[in-house]
């Protein structure tokens, strides 16, 4: 959600009573709108929405204008006040890597592909951080723009299994049944690393989608990602050979859980297989992040009652499909 007051922005002076970083999203959008007067009235009580648009064969659609979008909140159309495409707004990426026992033979590939991804995607204003999760969640590298520091952080990827396993985790969990604290890691990334960041925020999770022992639920992790305005991309990466005799590969709701989380936050689920390598998927995620549209509007329902507001898009071209978060929580800041 945006902020609770309105301000006048002069072309010569800017009067602000809130942190400057909080306005980066709005100011980035404003830069795309040509002002006719010397003073622009800006309502900063805004809902910000990032989206991508896909056409036939799931191709990314660029070059759209504001008039191509119709945005509805709880079924009521909203006036899109600010709009930009292929945005250069700052980007913060949280990379979350599953290092539980089932991922043992995948870690080297994850390290190499993630290093190449960071070198390719990060621009001067962008940041990234790395969290690994197994029996616990561990911050391997805090937010930085340094490719070297991120590379050093990725070198810290190592198995985190229950005590008595191949490599016990550095901080034993308080829960005996913890094995893959996926939801805890997502909650941590959103709540402690992304909620206060401005600009665009993305969580990329590499995992088989199985959670064992998280204190937080899937719903709590999704809720926190929505509060942080974070888009979650899930990479379903599994090693069939890692599952012991008698265990069914892919058992449980791993893929469905990942799809639920990504769909609700405006991301997608990608699956590593023979046709799509981890490098291929990182490239697709990069293309999507660089083909986003940023929209902002003041909701016709101004109440900050904590309720969930459903978002929906109707495109001028009915063949186009919008990929965006399904809604937001109307909370006071």
CATH code for the domain of 266: 3.40.50.410
Domain assignment of residue 300, yes or no: yes
Instruction: Identify whether residues 80 and 216 lie together within a single domain.
Output: no
Spatial CA neighbour of 149 closest among 159, 139, 158: 139
Number of H helices, E strands in the chain: 7, 16
**What six digits make up the tokens of 171?**
């901080």
Q: Between residues 2 and 159, which one has the greater pLDDT?
A: 159
Instruction: Identify whether residues 265 and 195 lie together within a single domain.
Output: yes
pLDDT in tens, 85-132: 866 788 999 999 999 988 999 999 999 999 999 999 999 999 999 999
Q: Is the CA virtual torsion 275, 278, 281, 283 positive or negative?
A: negative
| Separation between Cα atoms, residue 319 and residue 263, nearest integer Å | 19
pLDDT of residue 118: 96
> Above pLDDT 70, what percent of the chain?
77
The angle, 0 to 180 degrees and rounded to 10, between the axes of the packed helices 107-121 and 278-289 is 30
Please state, in angstroms and as integers, the Cα–Cα distance from residue 182 to each residue in 82, 127, 134, 312, following that order: 35, 22, 8, 28
Instruction: Identify whether residues 151 and 284 lie together within a single domain.
Output: yes
Domain assignment of residue 1, yes or no: no
Instruction: Identify whether residues 64 and 188 lie together within a single domain.
Output: no
Q: Which domain holds residue 54?
A: 6-87+292-329
Going by their DSSP bridges, the two strands 127-133 and 91-98 should be labelled as parallel
Q: Can you tell me the mean pLDDT for 161-171?
A: 46
Instruction: Identify whether residues 11 and 104 lie together within a single domain.
Output: no
Is this model's pTM higher than 0.75 or not? yes
Instruction: Identify whether residues 127 and 169 lie together within a single domain.
Output: yes
Instruction: Identify whether residues 279 and 316 lie together within a single domain.
Output: no
Q: Can you tell me the mean pLDDT for 127-153?
A: 96
**What six digits make up the tokens of 314?**
């109707």
> How many domains are contained in the chain?
2
């Amino acid at each position: 959600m945006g902020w609770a007051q309105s301000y006048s922005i002069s072309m010569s002076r800017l009067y602000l009573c809130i942190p400057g970083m909080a306005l980066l999203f709005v100011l980035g959008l404003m830069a795309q709108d040509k002002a006719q007067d010397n003073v622009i009235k800006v309502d900063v009580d805004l809902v910000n929405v990032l989206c991508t648009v896909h056409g036939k064969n799931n191709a990314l659609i660029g070059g759209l204008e504001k008039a191509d979008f119709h945005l509805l909140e709880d079924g009521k159309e909203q006036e899109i006040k600010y709009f930009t495409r292929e945005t250069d707004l700052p980007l913060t990426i949280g990379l979350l890597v599953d290092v539980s026992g089932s991922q043992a033979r995948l870690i080297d590939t994850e390290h190499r592909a993630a290093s190449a991804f960071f070198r390719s995607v990060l621009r001067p204003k962008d940041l990234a951080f790395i969290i690994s999760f197994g029996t616990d969640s561990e911050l391997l590298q805090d937010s930085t723009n340094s490719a070297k520091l991120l590379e050093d952080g990725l070198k810290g990827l190592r198995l985190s299994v229950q005590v008595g396993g191949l490599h016990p985790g550095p901080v034993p969990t308080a829960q005996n049944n913890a094995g893959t604290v996926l939801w805890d890691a997502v909650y941590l990334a959103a709540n402690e690393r992304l909620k206060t960041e401005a600009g665009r925020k993305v969580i990329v999770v590499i995992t088989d989608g199985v959670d064992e022992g998280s204190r937080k639920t899937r719903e709590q992790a999704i809720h926190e990602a929505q509060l942080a305005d974070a888009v979650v991309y899930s990479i379903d990466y599994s090693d069939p050979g890692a599952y012991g005799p008698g265990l069914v590969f892919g058992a449980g709701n791993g893929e469905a859980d990942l799809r639920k989380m990504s769909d609700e936050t405006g991301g997608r689920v990608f699956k590593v297989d023979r046709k799509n390598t981890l490098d291929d998927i990182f490239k697709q995620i990069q293309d999507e992040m660089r083909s986003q549209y940023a929209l902002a509007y003041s909701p016709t329902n101004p109440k900050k009652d904590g309720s969930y507001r459903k978002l929906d898009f109707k495109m001028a071209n009915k063949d186009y499909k919008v990929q965006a978060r399904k809604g937001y929580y109307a909370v006071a800041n």
